[in-house]
């Protein structure tokens, strides 16, 4: 009997279950004065600040700040995964909680293009392959694989010797439907952490697929169709790529 993968709407939780996530190590830890004011929002984690000593004082130039529209790059004049329509949006991936309609222009990976255009409709969209960069407002921008879904990327920003990376959603496990996660050296790493709490423990994918395949075989032998409900972008493709296609039609 056939195996069906049913897809849900866009507004479901979209972050990928993952193991305890790791952040790339800092380049070098520089000494920081104890009275240095570091202002930051809940989404920004200052792993290591890039501090320059100028006239016996330390200068800290954040490449991103947290605004009512989300993460904003003052030097480049763009937002990363903005929560509201903005002039320029750099998008990590096509899930609805990261890619929202209404912004003036968009920048994403080339492998994300068709997904964004399908989900958001006609748009002004420039794309970059993984690892290639462009300069905007003195800011060097590049995308690096996040291993989350097709076209998903970490955003690397470089300006005056500082390197910041915004992870977007990411996972470290192998996924046949997208490019594997790549560690990117940086001074400051801003990480998603939807399922990073230690209470989340996930079975190995091989065990999950073995259970699904066994259930499917049992249904097939009983003359029943099998239906699995999965999120439309990412989970559905990963599911179809992981089940044993020799059991029956999909
Ligand atoms: Zn996502």
pLDDT, residue 15, reads 38
Q: Does domain 40-190 have CATH number 3.60.15.10?
A: yes
pLDDT, residue 50, reads 45
User: What is the distance in A from the centroid of ligand 1 to the CA of 95?
Assistant: 5
pLDDT, residue 61, reads 78
pLDDT, residue 30, reads 37
User: What is the distance in A from the centroid of ligand 1 to the CA of 133?
Assistant: 23
User: What is the distance in A from the centroid of ligand 1 to the CA of 234?
Assistant: 8
User: What is the distance in A from the centroid of ligand 1 to the CA of 152?
Assistant: 8
- The residues spanned by each domain of the chain are 40-190
Question: How would DSSP label each residue in 70-131?
Answer: EEEETTTTEEES-SS--SEEE-S-SSTTT--TT-SEEEEEGGGHHHHHHHH-S--EEEE-TT
pLDDT, residue 247, reads 97
User: What is the distance in A from the centroid of ligand 1 to the CA of 127?
Assistant: 18
Tens of each residue's pLDDT in the chain, 250 residues:
566 666 544 333 333 333 333 333 333 333 333 333 333 333 333 333 444 554 544 446 799 999 999 999 999 999 999 999 999 999 999 999 999 999 999 999 999 999 999 999 999 999 999 999 999 888 999 999 999 999 999 999 999 889 999 999 999 999 999 999 999 999 999 999 878 888 999 899 999 999 999 999 999 999 999 999 999 999 999 999 999 999 999 9
User: What is the distance in A from the centroid of ligand 1 to the CA of 139?
Assistant: 25
pLDDT, residue 197, reads 86
User: What is the distance in A from the centroid of ligand 1 to the CA of 182?
Assistant: 16
User: What is the distance in A from the centroid of ligand 1 to the CA of 170?
Assistant: 8
User: What is the distance in A from the centroid of ligand 1 to the CA of 27?
Assistant: 27
User: What is the distance in A from the centroid of ligand 1 to the CA of 248?
Assistant: 30
User: What is the distance in A from the centroid of ligand 1 to the CA of 53?
Assistant: 39
pLDDT, residue 212, reads 97
User: What is the distance in A from the centroid of ligand 1 to the CA of 232?
Assistant: 11
pLDDT, residue 196, reads 80
User: What is the distance in A from the centroid of ligand 1 to the CA of 96?
Assistant: 8
User: What is the distance in A from the centroid of ligand 1 to the CA of 6?
Assistant: 18
User: What is the distance in A from the centroid of ligand 1 to the CA of 226?
Assistant: 26
User: What is the distance in A from the centroid of ligand 1 to the CA of 10?
Assistant: 11
pLDDT, residue 194, reads 79
pLDDT, residue 11, reads 37
pLDDT, residue 124, reads 97
pLDDT, residue 9, reads 40
User: What is the distance in A from the centroid of ligand 1 to the CA of 192?
Assistant: 10
């Amino acid at each position: 009997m056939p195996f069906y993968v049913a897809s849900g709407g866009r507004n479901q939780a979209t972050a990928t279950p993952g193991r305890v996530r790791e952040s790339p190590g800092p380049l070098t830890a520089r000494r920081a004065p104890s009275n240095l004011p570091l202002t930051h929002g809940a989404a920004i984690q200052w792993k290591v600040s890039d501090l320059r000593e100028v006239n016996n004082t330390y200068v800290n130039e954040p490449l991103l700040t947290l605004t009512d529209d989300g993460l904003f790059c003052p030097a480049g004049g763009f937002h990363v995964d903005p929560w509201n329509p903005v002039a320029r949006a750099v998008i990590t991936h096509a899930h609805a909680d990261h890619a929202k309609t209404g912004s003036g222009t968009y920048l994403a990976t080339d492998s994300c293009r068709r997904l964004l255009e399908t989900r958001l409709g006609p748009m002004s969209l420039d794309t970059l392959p993984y690892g290639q960069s462009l300069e905007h407002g003195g800011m060097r921008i590049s995308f690096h694989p996040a291993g989350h879904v097709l076209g998903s990327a970490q955003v690397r920003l470089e300006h005056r010797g500082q390197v910041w990376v915004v992870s977007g959603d990411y996972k470290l496990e192998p996924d046949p439907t997208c490019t594997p996660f790549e560690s990117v050296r940086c001074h400051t790493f801003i990480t998603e952490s939807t399922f990073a709490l230690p209470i989340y423990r996930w079975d190995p994918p091989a065990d999950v697929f073995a259970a699904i395949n066994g259930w499917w075989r049992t249904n097939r032998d009983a003359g029943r169709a099998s239906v699995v409900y999965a999120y439309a972008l990412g989970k559905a493709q990963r599911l179809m790529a992981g089940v044993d296609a020799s059991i029956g039609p999909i």
